[in-house]
Amino acid sequence: MEQTLEEFRKDKDEAFKDAAWSPLTDEQKVNFRGLSYFSESPKLVFQSMEIDPEGAGQPVEIPTSAGDTEQYLRAGIIKFSLEGKDYQLHLYHDLDGSEYFLPIKDATSGKETYVEGRYVDVEVENGQIKRLDFNYAYNPYCAYNHNWRCPIAPEENMLPIAIEAGEKNFNG
């Protein structure tokens, strides 16, 4: 049985407080009471999305929180409609093609959400994204602790709308 969003968030909060891999410092863990999230938004869930192969395989340098860059390969473009308007995001993958990477910025970035953007995990099968669920958008580890080095969402993935779903700013 698939885990609900509520269960996923509860498990993540528990892991951030207790797990060795948590991005939180020991000091942050002492007072940690859970991450802050937007309410679930069904309109921000998309199924069976084609990936436009435009630019696929081209290398791209994505800036990081450390001021350097990290190299990825373009995997294509994801197109979707929301409230009657069309949008697109660039999908990337690591150099060996095993992991997909979808960093986003939107109108909440720097306000309700981390200034450098958030990430959304996608599962790709046969050239399609099975499910894109912005309710699972999450902050990179550098949003919690400046000792982490994280790729930041490039300007080409800046959406002019507010994606009010997923994690909010960390206030710990």
Task: Look at the pTM and tell me if it is higher than 0.85.
Answer: yes
Asked if residue 2 has pLDDT above 90, the reply is no
| Assigned domain for 129 exists | yes
Range of the domain at 151: 5-157
The pLDDT of residue 97 is: 80
pLDDT tens per residue across span 122-140: 989 888 999 999 999 999 9
Q: Which residue has the tokens 């885990």?
A: 3
Report if residue 131 sits inside a domain: yes
Q: Are 84 and 90 in contact (CB under 8 A)?
A: no
- Do the domain assignments include residue 167? no
How far, CA to CA in Å, does 76 sit from each of 49, 55, 91, 146?
12, 6, 5, 31
The whole-angstrom separation of Cα 24 and Cα 146 is 10
Residue 171 lies in a domain: no
Residue partners of 54: CB distance under 8 A and separation at least 6: 76, 77
Residue 165 maps to a domain: no
Domain tally, the chain: 1
Within a domain: 169: no
Predicted confidence at residue 133, as pLDDT, reads 97
